[in-house]
Structure 1
């Protein structure tokens, strides 16, 4: 197999909480000397936000051809096609769709990117696997614990490549930090504190229901979610703040940050979870998920604390997000801007490390890893398999369930369910409507 063109490794920039992907031109889409048998045709489903960033990143890999785009909003489709035209991309070779099923029917598509709202991830991923496609699915992979389990079962049944979009799993400075945690130099780690203070993220205003914008297939956007009148403050980016479609900051950023807390501690599902929060900061805005939340996760040998706040940036260590491993000899602080170790002055084995900055682009490395495994079929080489994505999404869902139920939730690791009466049926299961059903795998 011919080698892939070297991917671009310009340092990544975090802007407004998302990736400011560097500009690219037609040379980024050159096919190099990739053999015909190694060409990979991709289609992208849901391209208004991260799905589009994933698509552009994927195309930096030689031999990857974009042949289809799908979105329920024609305005978004037109916008993306215009962007490609400005880059002198031959858009005549790219077909657009409003229904993902028509895209999946194409036999010439090898892999798909799923960047839809969260409530669509599971169904589209399973249908894609059934259609014989490899899948790159955005995070959180599932919008319920049942969906997460079913997605894992589907991947194992159809044996296709599925990468979860938790790109930090591919960024070197995150991995270096975890290697240090695993080295034991911090001593016993008693607490991991994870904070997520996102000043740029606020819910939308409370506005009246209205007709959907021209070009939007709102029925298709709702899919398996409950039928409700269209409201602009529940649509596009703001879907994150409503339980029908997502899980708020806990799942939107938690699957990135709690992921590394769990990875660093080699931790399973927690024994208990308690959570307190509410709409303390912006009760006048339109949301269901809490703008302020603190959750306490109990594990055998350590506690994990999750703390999130919308609309402000002054979190732990003066950062807007942070993962802190607090050990007897020092505290390792990790975020997208780098990592460091702050010594514990009272320790006889104190340790410190000056701050180390990122040297690569995590998203580009993550999509490159996906393409590499699509070609090699060595599924164990994936940096974030659906199994990993489902585990972290489950942990984050548990925090939301503790908050929504108002209970300290207790987990039975053998039965893989809550011991609290009524919680399993009410909160673990997926709620599908409008004739949609989660497939039984």
Structure 2
């Protein structure tokens, strides 16, 4: 806390596109200008995929330093330690159990880059331990988990940023600002989609012993105990209900987040979904490779689509959000945004807006925003606080629940539950192996 108090009174480092785009090696010289006692100490938990990307982004911020790495796979740990050594970054503490990171009094900030089924437990434990948290998306692996995560942040008054880094991109913000001008006219339909042609079939593989160096029991955590299978480990955990929610929660939280932002939307009144394993019916995945979900809100519908093995989605984009109004349609993706006017009898109903390209690095700026708030303690300045991350994760979970029940389901916001008993059975993730759903 003394270190944070000092940082709150220090002069902020100017954050421009130049610094945000610099490589970690380029920033080492800049970091040396700040004394050892002025640092924000980072402990990274889960460093194989996005956790490593998040750590790399946070280490670009001059006030930070790494003091602990944690992963259940010692092979990943050894790889990351070697990569950091090449950058002259020495790791003081290396763990395979996340609780040792939380017990380390030197750690100020925790990165959670684990599979989804671990997010809630680690985040709530981290808040209780007095740590600020940068948590990968989706926030929770169930609607009830999302609630617990919000409750933990509020109870312990911690800074919690969810890794929906598009909220830090200027062009996304500009696009939403345009939607809210009203120039599109009444927006009655919003489309969000992810067509991922590079995601191919996952062939079935036999169960085996866990690789040497992997603490598989810890990796499973609250998930159901099953024999180790390579298909369920590392990246492909996304396609199994035990650990995640497929493309709906992987890409959906990014795209649907901006759909909700543009429409200032709370929660839907009803949800229905249809899809399945249409592309690869006999492969190893559980979650649908093809899905269409319709959300009913007051005054408009939102449509979510995803498909693996196909690149050419709506508006010839493999991902994006489209706000379809009476006067025109705004389409935004990670590369930029544009407005396509409606044309009636040869007359345009509004002026076109040519493609406005992305100009910055959203992940880097998201990391900067997080550290700024760790210093200032102004949680309202976060670009994606846990409340926002939990909101969109909840909406995405609703879509998966509609798919899994095979019903059109209705949400009772006053009761914070569905009107259907089968849907309500899926509100909470089932915990195993002696773990219990966190309650705050």
Structure-1-length-normalised TM-score? 0.94
Alpha-carbon distance, 1:2 to partner: 3.1
Tell me which residue corresponds to 1:433.
432
- Specify the alignment match of 2:144 in structure 1: 146
Aligned to 2:4: none
Check 1:170–1:29 CA distance in 2 against 1; reply closer, same or farther (3 A cut).
farther
Give 1:228 deviation, angstroms.
0.2
Aligned to 1:252: 250
1:283: which partner in 2?
281
Aligned to 1:322: 320
CA contact (8 A) 2:109 2:132 kept: yes
Tell me the equivalent position of 1:16: none
Q: Deviations along 1:8-51, whole A, 9 cap, x unmatched?
A: 73699xxxxxxxx9753163474254466642000000000000
1:317-351 per-position Cα deviation (integer Å, ceiling 9, x unaligned): 11110100000111000000000000111277423
2:58 is aligned to 58
Secondary structure of the equivalent of 1:422? helix
Would the aligned equivalents of 1:122 and 1:141 in 2 still touch at CA under 8 Å? yes
Q: Deviations over 1:128-163 (max 9, x none)?
A: 011110000000010000000000001000000000
Partner of 2:308: 310
> Is 1:393 matched up with 2:373?
no
Alpha-carbon distance in structure 1 between the residues aligned to 2:292 and 2:318: 15
Contact 2:327 2:350 in 1 (8 A): yes
Structure 1 residue aligned with 2:370: 370
- 1:48 is aligned to 2:37: no
Q: Deviations along 1:89-124, whole A, 9 cap, x unmatched? A: 2x2x43110000011101111010000000000000
Report 1:36-435 matches (<5 A).
38-89=38-89, 91=90, 93-346=91-344, 349-424=349-424, 426-435=425-434
Mapped to 2, the partners of 1:203 and 1:237 lie a distance apart of: 13
- Give the root-mean-square deviation of aligned CA atoms: 1.7
1:334-371 deviations in whole A, cap 9, x for unaligned? 00000000011127742310000011100000010000
Tell me if structure 2 keeps the 8 A contact 1:70–1:103.
yes
Any conservation in 2 of the 1:38–1:375 contact (CA below 8 Å)? no
Does structure 1 conserve the Cα–Cα contact (< 8 Å) formed by 2:402 and 2:423?
Answer: no
Secondary structure at 1:427 match in 2: coil
Query: Following the alignment from structure 1 to structure 2, what is the Cα–Cα distance between the partners of residues 6 and 204?
Result: 45
Separation in structure 1 between the aligned mates of residue 16 and residue 59 of structure 2, nearest angstrom: 11
Secondary structure of 1:303's aligned partner: strand
Q: Deviations for 1:398-420, whole angstroms, at most 9, x for unmatched residues?
A: 00000000000100121111001
Distance across 2 between alignment mates of 1:315 and 1:330: 19
In the alignment, the residues of structure 2 paired with residue 252 and residue 29 of structure 1 have an alpha-carbon distance, to the nearest angstrom, of 36
2:343 aligns to what SS in structure 1? coil
In structure 1, the residue matched to 2:11 is: 3
CA distance in 2, matches of 1:263, 1:343: 22
CA-CA distance at 1:291 after TM superposition: 0.2
Q: Is residue 4–residue 34 contact of structure 1 (8 Å, CA) maintained in 2?
A: no
In 1, are the aligned partners of 2:102 and 2:129 still within 8 Å (CA)? yes
**CA contact 2:241–2:286 (8 Å) conserved in 1:** yes
Distance 1:140 1:312 in 2: 23
Distance 1:407 1:204, change over 3 A: same
Question: Are the equivalent residues in 2 in contact too, given 1:194–1:306 (CA < 8 A)?
Answer: yes
**For residues 290 and 16 of structure 2, what CA distance do their matches in structure 1 show?**
38
* Offset at residue 5 of structure 1 (A): 4.0
Q: Which residue of the partner structure matches residue 3 of structure 2?
A: none
Distance in 1 of aligned mates of 2:95 and 2:26: 24
Distance 1:11 1:292, change over 3 A: farther
